[in-house]
Amino acid sequence: MAFRAGSANTLSGMGVADHSKSTYKELQRKKFHRYIIFRIEEKKKEVVVEKTGGPTESYAEFTASLPENDCRYAVYDYDFVTSENCQKSKIFFISWAPAMSRIRAKMLYATSKNRFKRELEGIHYEIQATDPTEMDLEVLQDRAH
């Protein structure tokens, strides 16, 4: 288990599963995944991989994979072409906390977010969304350009 004692853990006590870190590295370095959805496993007190999307999956498939009424963390590898016709990629960290999710879940995800995000090196942008319009593809496009 990836739990370490210290002041960073006293707020949430949440660890990060080794599989979560290795899956993120596969997305970041090897482009094995288009996205990763993470959830907090309360009994184990760690962040685990819930789902991955293959490199050809669309943004619509990614957003459809997020629960309507529960919180999640997600990482999305956004590919785009610049005005100079260069292929680029930016990694987005998305904190998904829909309005209809439980208060306890919102608090747990909010207090664990920074600790988890620190484990994922190379994040370019962060988006906090409480409904799908706050993370439309246009939002990513605006942030990345």
Neighbouring residues of 128: CB distance < 8 A, sequence distance ≥ 6: 94, 95, 97, 134
Compute the half-sphere exposure of residue 41: CA atoms within 13 Å on the CB side of its CA: 16
Distance from C-alpha of 17 to C-alpha of 21, rounded to nearest angstrom:
7
Question: What are the structure tokens assigned to 112, written together?
Answer: 């664990």
Each of the 145 residues of the chain gets a pLDDT tens digit; together they read 444 433 333 335 678 999 999 999 999 999 999 999 999 998 889 999 999 999 999 999 999 999 999 999 999 999 999 889 999 999 999 999 999 999 999 999 999 999 999 999 999 999 999 999 999 999 999 999 8
Please tell me whether residue 91 adopts helix, strand or coil conformation: strand
Distance from C-alpha of 130 to C-alpha of 145, rounded to nearest angstrom:
23
The pTM score is: 0.88
